[in-house]
Amino acid sequence: MNALVSNAPAQTKAEPIDWAGKNYLVVDDFIGVRQLLREALRSLGARNIDQAASGGEAIGLLAKTRYDVVLCDFNLGDGKNGQQVLEEARVRNLLLPSSVWMMVSAEKSVESVMGAAEHQPDAYLVKPITEGVLLTRLNRAWHRKQVFRPIDQAYAEKDYLRAARLCDEQIGASRVHEVELLRMKARLMEKSGEPEKAREAYERVLNQREYQWARAGLAKIRLANGEFEAARQMFQGVIAENRYYIDAYDQLALAWQGMGKLEEACSVLERAARLSPNSVPRQRNLGLVCLKLGNVALAEKAFRKCIAVGEYSVRRTPDAYLGLARVCGLKNDPKEAQALLQAAQRDFSEAHPDIDLRAKITEGLVYHESGDYRRARKAGDELEALLGAREDRPDTETCLEMATLLFAVGVKEAPSELLCYVIRNNHDNAVLLDEVQAIFDKARLTDEGGDLIRSSKKEAADLMNQGVLLWKTGKLQEAVDWMREARARLPNNQRILFNAAQVLVSHMRERGFDEALSLEAHEVLAHVDRLQPGQQRFAQLMEQLAVLAPKAEPETPPAVDTRA
Partner 1 sequence: MTPVDDPAPSQDLLLFLASTAHDMKNSISVLSGTLERLLVGAGPHPDAAYPQMAQMLYQTRRLNDNLMQLLALYKRVGTPEYPFDVQPIEAAQLLDQVVSLGRVLLDAKGIALEVEGDRDLIWHLDEDLIVGVVSHAVNNAAHYTRDRIRLALREAGGLLEIRVEDNGDGYPQPLLDAGAAGLDGAASGIDFRTNSAGLGLHFSREVARMHRHRGREGSVRLENGGAFGGGCFVLSLP
Binding stretches for partner 1 (CB under 8 A): 1-2, 4-5, 7, 9-10, 12, 30, 32-33, 35-36, 39-40, 106-110, 112-114, 126-133, 135-136, 140, 175-180, 208-211, 236, 239-244, 271, 274-275
Which residues, other chains included, contact 508 with Cβ-Cβ below 8 Å and sequence gap of 6+? 514, 517, 518, 521, 548
Residue 511 CB, nearest approach to partner 1 (Å): 49
- Report which secondary-structure segment, H or E, holds 269: helix 262-275
| Shorter beta-carbon distance to partner 1: residue 210 or 369 | 210
Nearer to partner 1, 125 or 542 (CB): 125
Residues whose CB falls within 8 Å of the CB of residue 366, separated by 6 or more in sequence, listed in order = 325, 326, 328, 329, 334, 337
Do residues 352 and 318 touch, judged by C-beta distance below 8 A?
A: yes
Rounded to a whole number of angstroms, the minimum distance from the CB of residue 242 to partner 1 is 5
Which CB atom, from 42 or from 527, has the smaller least distance to partner 1? Answer: 42
CA pair distance 301, 314, nearest whole angstrom: 21
CB of 303 to partner 1, least distance (A): 21
CA dist., res. 327 & res. 288, Å (int): 10
- Choice between 182 and 504, CB closer to partner 1: 182
Q: What residue ranges in 44-114 does DSSP mark as E strands?
A: 48-52, 69-73, 100-105
Distances (CA, A) of 89 to 120, 146, 209, 281, 401: 12, 21, 34, 19, 35
Question: Residue 177 CB: number of other CB atoms within 10 A?
Answer: 19
- Minimum Å gap between C-beta 110 and partner 1 is 5
Minimum distance, C-beta of residue 95 to partner 1, in the bound complex (Å): 23
* Phi (first) and psi of residue 222, to 5 degrees: -60, -45
Residue 111: Cβ within 10 Å count: 20
Q: What is the CA radius of gyration of the chain?
A: 27
What is the smallest separation between the CB atom of 390 and partner 1, expressed in angstroms?
Answer: 47
Q: Whole-angstrom Cα distance, residue 290 to residue 300?
A: 9
Give the residue with the Cβ less far from partner 1, 305 or 495: 305
What torsion, rounded to 10 degrees, do the Cα atoms 84, 87, 88, 90 define?
A: 160
Residue type, 65: T
CB 39 to partner 1: min, Å: 7
Q: Find out whether 44 and 91 touch, Cβ atoms under 8 Å.
A: no
Residues with Cβ within 8 Å of 473's Cβ and at least 6 positions away in sequence, in order, are none
Which residue lies nearer to partner 1 by CB, 40 or 409? 40
Backbone φ, ψ for residue 101 (5° rounding): -110, 115
> What is the nearest approach in angstroms of partner 1 to the Cβ of residue 102?
13
Alpha carbon distance 196, 181 (integer Å): 17
Identify which of residues 42 and 484 has a Cβ nearer to partner 1 in the complex: 42
Name which of 14 and 156 has its Cβ closer to partner 1: 14
CB 208 to partner 1: min, Å: 7
For the CB of residue 189, give the shortest distance to partner 1 in the complex, in Å: 21
Beta bridge partners of 24: 49, 69
Q: In what order do the strands lie in the sheet with 69-73?
A: 48-52, 23-27, 69-73, 100-105, 123-126
- Measured from the CB atom, the residue of 136 and 506 that comes closer to partner 1 is 136
DSSP label of 106: S
User: What 3-state class would DSSP assign to 52?
Assistant: strand
For partner 1, the closer CB: 136 or 466 = 136
Q: How many Å apart are CA 182 and CA 120, to the nearest integer? A: 17
Q: How far is the CB of 188 from partner 1 (least distance, A)?
A: 20
In the bound state with partner 1, the residue whose beta carbon lies nearer, of 181 and 501, is 181
Closest distance to partner 1 from the beta carbon of 113 (Å): 4
When the beta carbons of 236 and 313 are compared against partner 1, the nearer one is 236
Q: Which residues contact 496 (CB under 8 A, 6 or more apart)?
A: 460, 463, 464, 467, 483, 486, 487, 490
- The answer to whether 222 and 231 have CB atoms below 8 angstroms apart is yes
Instruction: Look at residue 22 and give its three-state secondary structure.
Output: coil
What is residue 17's three-state secondary structure?
coil
Q: Is the peptide bond before 128 cis (omega within 30 degrees of 0)?
A: yes
Q: How far is the CB of 414 from partner 1 (least distance, A)?
A: 47
Between 119 and 127, CB nearer to partner 1: 127
Q: Helices marked H in 174-245 — which ranges?
A: 178-191, 195-208, 212-224, 228-241
Residue 445 Cβ, how far from partner 1 at the closest point, in Å? 46
Minimum CB distance to partner 1 smaller for 214 or for 322: 214
